[in-house]
Structure 1
Amino acid sequence: MQEINAIPEIALCWHRSGQGAVLATVAETWGSAPRPAGSQMAVSGVGEMAGSVSGGCVEGAVVAEALAALADGAPRLLSFGVADEDAFAVGLACGGRIRVLLEPVAALSEGLLEEIVAARALRRPIAYVVDTESWARRLAGPEDREIAARLRADRSGCDGARVIALFNPPLRMAVVGAVHIAQALVPMARLAGFDPVVIDPRPAFATQARFPGETIVEDWPDEALAALGLDARAAVVTLTHDPKLDDPAIRVALESDVFYLGCLGSTRTHAKRLERLRAAGLGEAQLCRIHAPVGLDIGARTPAEIATSVMAQVVQRLRLG
């Protein structure tokens, strides 16, 4: 898991080591703030930090205040804006404004943080709700209708005096086909915050030399996807251009809640693909979920350009629906 996606885990580790830890959470934003509500940063008792709340504009001030919070054990809600003289003489150069919730792990309770970390390990969506007037804290899940709506929209933020921080399961991308486009797409996906998995039963393609440090599953795509467990935080991209590999993967993806399914191939190739899938019993509502030819139409030609168009379409689908 990338550092920026593992802030609760890092904070818990620092706390358990005895050096102390503070969680900083973007509670609310206005204007062109560089990091959205729910973004987090952890600060250790020795001033080490992980994650980000502003992309570098106010991190130094947050670290200083976090160390003060560790010393007195009290949580606090900070405000930063352009030329904000009350915010430690720092501001957001981009012109936005943010509020940042600072909480020593000891104050929010190790038990609550352990529950958050456990839920994330199980890919179970959960929300942390704190009342900044009483400092009462609780966890909530999709069974809470308000929280369920926020989880679907991935929308952390404030509701009056309450700060609601969401912990949705990490985004995943299953790339079927360890081809040249995949070699460009996988690092892009990781940079965009996805946990990518490369699936290909062909040993000549699915190698660590071609995908250094990445998770590779050398199995038939339909079996690999079923074992992976697809959900609404997952995207699937098929790139083999071989119906024997792509079609079974597509059927598994269409039977799941994946938010994106994109398939390589020309318009003619996709038309033949649709004929095969209809013959296999898939309905039109399912088939309409397929993005093909895969990627936004930006005139891409090279593998890297095609990967860029695919990544852009995945983000577009994730954020704009």
Structure 2
Amino acid sequence: MTATGYSRFDHAPETALGWHRDGIGAALATVVETWGSAPRRTGAQLAIGGDGCIEGSVSGGCVEGAVIVEALEALDEGDARLLEFGVSDADAFAVGLACGGTIRVLVEPVGHVLPDTMLEELVAARAAREALAYEVNVETGARALRRGAYPDRMRLDRSGFEPDGRTFVAVHNPPLRLIVVGAVHIAQALLPMARIAGYDPVIVDPREAFASETRFPGETILTDWPDEAVAALGLDPRTALVLLTHDPKLDDPALMAALRADVFYIGALGSTRTHAKRVARLEQAGFTGAEIARIHAPVGLDIGAADPSEIAVAILAEMTAVLRGRRP
């Protein structure tokens, strides 16, 4: 992960801004449309430096060479370029796909076409975990950053053209984050699964015998009390909280913090009877029925899970359904 928290293929804006500030010059190449089995999804970006250095990917290697050449020429001439490439079946197979496709790539030199002030604002918003959309009219060249716009695109993480065929919208959401309270066996299966699914997971448990590097190699571990940990991490609409300890002393403070925040998912382990006791405690603490109804408990989709790994699958599946607007 980079300092901003974005994955290695997602920090092209930060890299391009850095090269521009260093005087090297930079252009951003963005996949704006795909047909067939294109190697990268719409919105994928590649930063190209004026010295030929690159960061990111628009095709997994199929057309990067041609994009770099076009980007360097665009930097010299100070213009934007909308490119179209066909990816052959052979090239697609080389990057792990069964067949090829077609991609369109928008190349924007920083400072000439893409204002550096706009890129600075975008990078600052990403660092602050603020969701926004970058909008560009490929015919007129009009560009803008939009907050609170395109709710369906933002929820689905779906960059693409609007129905007018001219306005491209690039979604810049904060990375998904999963906070797991309780360093138990389910968490040992859930964290690596969540990372594969694109989450930045954190395990929280003050019991150091449970929350150890040996049990969770390479993971971010916080041994603070859960309420202190979630306060330090911050809770926002791109955060999921999963409670696995069965211990109200550990679960409840973090749960109450999440109910007061705008996290997209709250899941709590326990039987129906255990949850009924949890509901009674929350009601006594002043939470409303609507607030309590945000909790998914027993946690996970009912898939007949029988062991920790299967429970982890059920939890991740339910998180995905809620994230994409399909409430179980």
Using the size of structure 1 for normalisation, the TM-score is: 0.83
> Structure 2 CA distance, aligned partners of 1:305 and 1:212?
21
| Residue of 142, 147, 152 corresponding to 1:141 | 147
| Residue of 261, 272, 276 corresponding to 2:277 | 272
Query: 8 Å contact 1:172–1:195 — kept in the other structure?
Result: yes
> Structure 1 CA distance, aligned partners of 2:304 and 2:56?
35
Distance 1:303 1:61, change over 3 A: farther
Alignment of 1:141-220 (within 5 A): 141-142=147-148, 146-147=149-150, 150-159=153-162, 160-220=165-225
Comparing 60-69 with 252-261, greater Cα deviation is found at 60-69
Gapped regions of structure 1 (runs ≥ 5): 85-91
> Structure 2 CA distance, aligned partners of 1:13 and 1:26?
21
Instruction: Give the CA deviation at 1:33.
Output: 4.3
> Structure 1 CA distance, aligned partners of 2:228 and 2:306?
31
CA deviations over 1:289-321 (Å, ceiling 9, x no partner): 222222233343343332233222222221243
CA deviations over 1:84-133 (Å, ceiling 9, x no partner): 9xxxxxxx864654322111224313222111111111122222222222
- Supply the AA of the counterpart residue of 2:272: T
| Residue of 238, 243, 249 corresponding to 1:238 | 243
Alignment of 1:1-16 (within 5 A): 1=5, 2-16=7-21
Determine if the alignment matches structure 1 residue 311 to structure 2 residue 316: yes
- Supply the AA of the counterpart residue of 2:121: E
Comparing 179-188 with 39-48, greater Cα deviation is found at 39-48
In structure 1, the residue corresponding to 2:130 is in which secondary structure? coil
- Supply the AA of the counterpart residue of 2:49: S
> Structure 2 CA distance, aligned partners of 1:182 and 1:133?
49
| Residue of 115, 120, 123 corresponding to 1:117 | 123
Instruction: Give the CA deviation at 1:238.
Output: 0.8
| Residue of 248, 254, 273 corresponding to 2:253 | 248
In structure 1, the residue corresponding to 2:324 is in which secondary structure? helix
> Structure 1 CA distance, aligned partners of 2:53 and 2:247?
49
Instruction: Give the CA deviation at 1:32.
Output: 5.0
Distance 1:57 1:266, change over 3 A: farther
Instruction: Give the CA deviation at 1:262.
Output: 1.3
| Residue of 84, 99, 110 corresponding to 1:79 | 84
Aligned residues: 311
Distance 1:319 1:95, change over 3 A: farther
- Supply the AA of the counterpart residue of 1:163: F
Comparing 102-111 with 248-257, greater Cα deviation is found at 102-111
Distance 1:319 1:135, change over 3 A: same
Distance 1:16 1:189, change over 3 A: farther
Using the size of structure 2 for normalisation, the TM-score is: 0.82
Comparing 39-48 with 233-242, greater Cα deviation is found at 39-48
Instruction: Give the CA deviation at 1:234.
Output: 0.9
- Supply the AA of the counterpart residue of 1:197: V
Instruction: Give the CA deviation at 1:250.
Output: 1.6
Alignment of 1:45-60 (within 5 A): 45=50, 47-60=52-65
> Structure 2 CA distance, aligned partners of 1:320 and 1:58?
35
Identity of aligned residues (%): 62
In structure 2, what is the equivalent of residue 89 of structure 1?
none
Query: 8 Å contact 2:28–2:108 — kept in the other structure?
Result: yes
Query: 8 Å contact 1:141–1:148 — kept in the other structure?
Result: no
Distance 1:167 1:213, change over 3 A: same
In structure 2, the residue corresponding to 1:307 is in which secondary structure? helix
In structure 1, the residue corresponding to 2:261 is in which secondary structure? coil
Query: 8 Å contact 1:267–1:293 — kept in the other structure?
Result: yes
Tell me the C-alpha RMSD between the 2 structures: 2.8
